Chains A and B, each alone.
Chain A
Amino acid sequence: MIAAVGLVVGVLAGVLLQPEVPLALQPYLPIAVVAALDAVFGGLRAVLDGIFDDKVFVVSFLSNAVVAALIVYLGDQLGVGSQLSTGVVVVLGVRIFSNAAAIRRHLFNA
């Protein structure tokens, strides 16, 4: 419950404060969003499975974001940034979809 409140407060803070994203970090924003969504859906599914663990959630969120940003940064340096971004988005997108499917099965038994 308090976790959901934290999420809502975060959204409100982002909308109201509108923090300026530094120019150097802007290319990583979409990737960071996808990585964060992956962690959130994974955590949600774990909650529904009854095996949620705070430490695993935090670590997976942070490592997801860092590794995704690292891959994109590396791709940018090598000149294949858009391709690597696509790869990251595909992998994380597939995970999000199947986690969402598991959540759907839990919630709607369908």
Chain B
Amino acid sequence: MSPVRRLRRALHPAPRPVDPHRDPAASTRLLTEVMERPLDPGYAAAARRRARTGLPPTRAARTATVLALLVVGALLAVAGVRAAAGAPAADRGRTQLAQRVQDGTARADELAARVSELRAGNARLAASLGGAPAASADARASGLQVAAAATAVTGPGLSVVLDDAATPAGAPAPGPTSGRVVDRDVQLVVNGLWAAGAEAVAVNGQRLGALSSIRAAGEAVLVDYRPLTPPYTVSAVGDPAAMQTAFATSVAGRYLQVLRDNYGLRAEVAPADRLDLPAARLDLRFARAGAAGQ
């Protein structure tokens, strides 16, 4: 026999002959049994046993029956009350939804508590580190604003006042810039103050930022393209004592001394308890902030 024919034979077997003794209603026997003999056959068996032994029902069995009926009654009552209170199915759905809402709310509360807990832990750890890298973003941002001269600052510091040499009335000036404070002098003083540890510097109320320039136009000194008039007051916020020492021993300090001695320029360095410096002008027209590498 070829494999194809064998397969066909297996797929389409010849019809079997019908068993003549088979009950035609066998498939519905279960239903018939349920309909015809609903009573528990145990009752009949127990009755036969009782008839054989002749024993009366025990008191314990009677009590159990009463208890069972008690339970049945309570069950019916509870179900009835629940049905009367409202549709049980809808109630169940609503209860489950409410339960889920409560669960979700509780979980959200838990997570929020955990967030604040972790935040507190972070702050604690940052405080224990105490360093700039661990400082919070806010502190870092405000520090950057001060460093970029984007915000007005106040604090103790040093102020250096430069003024032209006092010329006797009527005496001719020995040279065009002799005895006068020029832009180079102001630049040197400012650089000396930065080097001495100044955190913010202003010249005659013009705050110096990363975009500031100090230059001259003719005889006038210009800071950020604004002409200033003498005397020039350079204010620097920082540790007054440390800055004064560092400035006096720096190149700028020695240069000032030379100016004072040789040209009669007036230069005074004085610590100040409180200096108020405005924000610098920051007009950015082309530069845009961007992440590194982009």
Chain A residues packing against B (C-beta within 8 Å):
2-15, 18-19, 21, 23, 26-27, 29-30, 32-33, 36-37, 39-40, 42-43, 45-46, 49-62, 91, 94-96, 98-99, 102
Complex contact B79–A9 (CB within 8 A): no
Complex Cα distance, B43 from A26, in Å, reads 31
Complex contact A10–B73 (CB within 8 A): yes
Complex Cα distance, B199 from A55, in Å, reads 97
Complex contact B70–A7 (CB within 8 A): yes
Please give the distance in Å from A92's CB to the nearest CB on chain B.
10
Decide yes or no whether B25 CB sits under 8 A from chain A.
no
CB-defined A-B contacts under 8 Å, sample of 13: A2-B66, A3-B65, A10-B71, A10-B76, A13-B74, A14-B76, A26-B88, A33-B79, A39-B68, A53-B50, A56-B43, A58-B67, A96-B38
Instruction: Please pick, from B43, B80, B81, B92, the residue contacting A46 in the complex, using a CB distance under 8 A.
Output: B43
Please give the distance in Å from A44's CB to the nearest CB on chain B.
10
Complex contact B72–A40 (CB within 8 A): yes
Q: Write out the residue numbers on chain B whose beta carbons fall within 8 Å of the beta carbon of A61.
A: 68, 71-72
Complex Cα distance, B62 from A3, in Å, reads 8
Q: What class of interface size applies to chain B in its complex with A?
A: 35 or more
Complex Cα distance, B75 from A36, in Å, reads 8
**Which DSSP category, helix, strand, loop or mixed, fits chain A's interface?**
helix
Complex Cα distance, B69 from A9, in Å, reads 9
Q: Write out the residue numbers on chain A whose beta carbons fall within 8 Å of the beta carbon of B81.
A: 14-15, 18
Complex contact B65–A58 (CB within 8 A): yes
Complex contact B69–A26 (CB within 8 A): no
